[in-house]
Structure 1
Amino acid sequence: MSMIEITADIEAIIKQAILSFVATVNEDGTPNLSPKASLTVRSGVLYFADIASPRTILNLKRNPAVEINAVDIFQRRGYRFKGRALILAPDDAEFLMIADWVRATNGPEYPVDHVVKIETTSITPLLSPAHVFADPPRSQDEIRSTYYQKYGVKPIGT
Structure 2
Amino acid sequence: MSAEPDHVVLCWLATADAAGQPNVSPKEVFLRPAPDEVLIAEIASARSLANIRENPRVCVSMIDIFRQRGEKLEGLASLIAPEEAEFAGLSARFARLTQGQYPIRHVIRVRVGQVAPIRAPGWHLFPDKTEADMRREALATYRVTDLPRK
Q: Same fold (TM over 0.5)?
A: yes
Q: Which amino acid aligns with 1:59?
A: N
Which of 138, 145, 149 is equivalent to 1:147? 138
Q: Which runs of 5+ in 1 are unaligned?
A: 1-8
Cα deviations by residue, 1:21-48 (Å, 9 ceiling, x for unpaired):
1000134421100000122112442111
Contact 1:65 1:84 in 2 (8 A): yes
* Amino acid corresponding to residue 32 of structure 1 in structure 2: N
The residue correspondences of 1:1-158 to structure 2 (distance < 5 A) are: 10=2, 12=4, 14-44=5-35, 45-90=37-82, 91-93=84-86, 95-134=87-126, 137-154=128-145, 155-156=147-148
Deviates more, 1:60-69 or 1:35-44: 35-44
- Asked if structure 1 preserves the Cα contact closer than 8 Å seen for 2:13 and 2:24, the reply is yes
1:106 to partner: Cα distance: 1.5
* TM-score normalised per structure 2: 0.88
Structure 2 unaligned segments of length 5 or more: list them. Answer: none
- Aligned 8 A contact 1:87 1:114 in 2: yes
Change (3 A) 1:139 1:18: same
Q: Is the 8 A contact 2:81 2:105 kept in 1?
A: no
Residues 109 and 38 of structure 1: is their aligned pair in 2 closer, same or farther, counting only changes over 3 Å?
closer
Identity of aligned residues (%): 25
Is the partner of 1:98 in helix, strand or coil?
A: helix
Q: How far apart in 1 are the matches of 2:33 and 2:88? A: 12
When the two structures are superposed, what TM-score results if normalisation uses the length of structure 1?
Answer: 0.84
**1:67, distance to aligned residue in structure 2 (A):** 0.5
Residue 108 of structure 1 aligns to a residue whose secondary structure is coil
